[in-house]
Amino acid sequence: MGDVQVPDTISTATKTTSEENSGESSKGSNSNQHKCAVCSSFATKCCTGCRDIHYCSQEHQKQDWTRHKMQCSPFILKTSTVFGRHFVASRKLKGTSLILEELPAFCAPRGMVDDFETPLCLSCCSVINELPIDQVGKCSKCGWPVCSLMCEKNDYHSKNECEIFFKSKLAFYPPGYSVYELYKVIEVIRGLLIKDKKPETWKKIMDLQYQTELGSKTLFDDLKSVRKDFKVEDLGTDGEWNRILGVMNVNNFTMAGPRATPSISYEAFLFLKTSMFAHSCAPNCWWGITIFPEFKITVYAAEDIQKGDIITLPYTYLYSAFGTHMRIEFLKRNGDYICRCIRCVTKAELGSYASALKCFNCESGYILPESPTDSNSEWKCEDEECKSVLESRVFDSRIEYLIKKLEDCETVPELHKYIEDNKDVTLHANHWLITEAMETICKGEPSESGSSSEALAEKDKLIQYCEHILKVKNIVAPGISLERGRCYSH
Ligand SMILES: [Zn+2]
Ligand SMILES: [Zn+2]
Ligand SMILES: [Zn+2]
Ligand SMILES: [Zn+2]
Ligand SMILES: [Zn+2]
Ligand SMILES: [Zn+2]
């Protein structure tokens, strides 16, 4: 952009009161159209922190900094062929610092695909079947499921599909739809209603990336009959329905519902800004979403981020504990998305060896994928003298067998035995199946209590496991990450 950095007068002044290093001004490329935020005269400079605010002079920028620093964005938008649109840090960001808070453009509950019978509250996403009988409710206006009066009155429901279904007298619910499809329709309706209600937001939604084919098949083959069944023929066009579905395929964030036992419901969100952060399976930021009714996403830095670094997030927490091979499979299946993050493209996953098998031939080397993001890749022994090759088919059956074995472990001693039998025998000690087994043990109640020698030995073992898990997570999920936090909570 050819920005001219003018002397750093403001940032030096502010450094004494804040760690942030922003407020340098530079010539913005399109500064001609802008007015100074202080005096409204012709502005030739813009804040390099956010490029969102303009000034006539450095004096006025300096004058405004105390006020503006509260709003100055710590990231700026960039585009690249690899990451598409993404954000980079506009200044040094300290670990744990807040990067962004954002409310959803819209959201909707999301049920399970093969479920045909579990209605979810249209506002808070509770599983209605599991509620105490006095809380089970139907909206007094439209008759669709809400768990309480508070949820009936909540804008997510009352200002969206409730008005439509009330007018059309559409009873809950058109037969033949799975709970997943049912709430997917609600999701689209809520998205489409933004077009008239908030045109500015709609423009931004239309500006997001989208992918209309999900795992190479569309969700609704016949949109006409869907729209007829839900009596919403007049709402949007087929193209707009597909567009909202496509935008959500690529950009949605999900969070488990309040009564998700076990994982029966999710809330799906569209966050306009947060969805533009680059995804990484070894991210430098993490996020959390507050519970109903606020639903605010908070993005924070897991570790120190340098000025100019790409800010990365995990799009989903569901697979973050898996090795690359598994993650790629899931990401592809659920979002038609092939990850090219630094963890996915390095054979040994940043040196963690979280997917490596022990070589069956030389018994000392480790087997790694030749091209890690290709699920049909060959796997090859790292040992220069061995170089044994495993076809992807053979690798797949081997790993499936080991996953099945872990799933079959029902007791803590069986899990201990699984670890003993496989750690550095069939799998690298850092393999994700080993850390999964260890986490399962650490999560449970210790089988021996008190201070007998057995109990102490078991506690020692748990400490060893936690240390081992942390060692691996320090590589793939460094800093203040969910993965590490989970370990500390054991
Ligand atoms: Zn001015
Ligand atoms: Zn700024
Ligand atoms: Zn509710
Ligand atoms: Zn209603
Ligand atoms: Zn990745
Ligand atoms: Zn070997």
Cα 378 to middle of ligand 6, angstroms: 14
Cα 364 to middle of ligand 5, angstroms: 28
Cα 57 to middle of ligand 1, angstroms: 6
The residue-averaged pLDDT of 119-147 equals 82
For residue 226, give the nearest of 178, 171, 185, 172 by alpha carbon: 185
Q: How much is the pLDDT for 256?
A: 81
Model confidence band, residue 381 (pLDDT cutoffs 50, 70, 90): very high
Cα 138 to middle of ligand 4, angstroms: 8
With 90 as the cut, is the pLDDT of residue 449 above it? Answer: no
Question: Which ligand has the nearest atom to the CA of 373?
Answer: 5
Cα 51 to middle of ligand 2, angstroms: 6
Cα 311 to middle of ligand 2, angstroms: 17
Q: Which protein residues have a CB closer than 5 Å to ligand 1 (ion)?
A: 36, 38-39, 56, 60
Cα 357 to middle of ligand 6, angstroms: 10
Q: How much is the pLDDT for 447?
A: 64
Model confidence band, residue 378 (pLDDT cutoffs 50, 70, 90): very high
Cα 232 to middle of ligand 4, angstroms: 16
Cα 264 to middle of ligand 3, angstroms: 15
Model confidence band, residue 134 (pLDDT cutoffs 50, 70, 90): low
Contact, 120 vs 145, CB < 8 A? Answer: yes
* Residue 234 CB partners (closer than 8 Å, separation 6+): none
With 80 as the cut, is the pLDDT of residue 60 above it? Answer: yes
Question: Which ligand has the nearest atom to the CA of 62?
Answer: 1
Segment among 120-129, 143-152, 433-442, 447-456 with least mean pLDDT: 447-456
Q: Name the range with the highest mean pLDDT among 9-13, 147-151, 328-332.
A: 147-151
Position of tokens 């077009």? 195
Cα 220 to middle of ligand 4, angstroms: 24
For residue 409, give the nearest of 418, 401, 400 by alpha carbon: 418
Give 50 or 247, the one with higher predicted confidence: 247
Contact, 172 vs 143, CB < 8 A? Answer: yes
Instruction: Determine the Cα–Cα distance for residues 193 and 165; give it in Å rounded to an integer.
Output: 13
Give 445 or 453, the one with higher predicted confidence: 453
- Cα dihedral sign, 32-36-41-43: negative
DSSP β-bridge partners for residue 45? 55
Instruction: Determine the Cα–Cα distance for residues 88 and 84; give it in Å rounded to an integer.
Output: 12
Question: Which ligand has the nearest atom to the CA of 76?
Answer: 2
Instruction: Give the tens place of pLDDT for each residue, 19-55.
Output: 333 344 444 444 357 899 999 999 988 887 777 789 9
For residue 358, give the nearest of 405, 400, 395 by alpha carbon: 395
Instruction: Determine the Cα–Cα distance for residues 75 and 95; give it in Å rounded to an integer.
Output: 15
Q: How much is the pLDDT for 10?
A: 34
Instruction: Give the tens place of pLDDT for each residue, 161-190.
Output: 999 999 999 988 888 888 889 999 999 999
Cα 187 to middle of ligand 3, angstroms: 16
Model confidence band, residue 123 (pLDDT cutoffs 50, 70, 90): very high
The residue-averaged pLDDT of 389-405 equals 95
* Residue 490 CB partners (closer than 8 Å, separation 6+): 439, 442, 443, 462, 466
Model confidence band, residue 212 (pLDDT cutoffs 50, 70, 90): confident
With 60 as the cut, is the pLDDT of residue 3 above it? Answer: no
What is the residue-averaged pLDDT of the chain?
Answer: 85
Cα 53 to middle of ligand 1, angstroms: 11
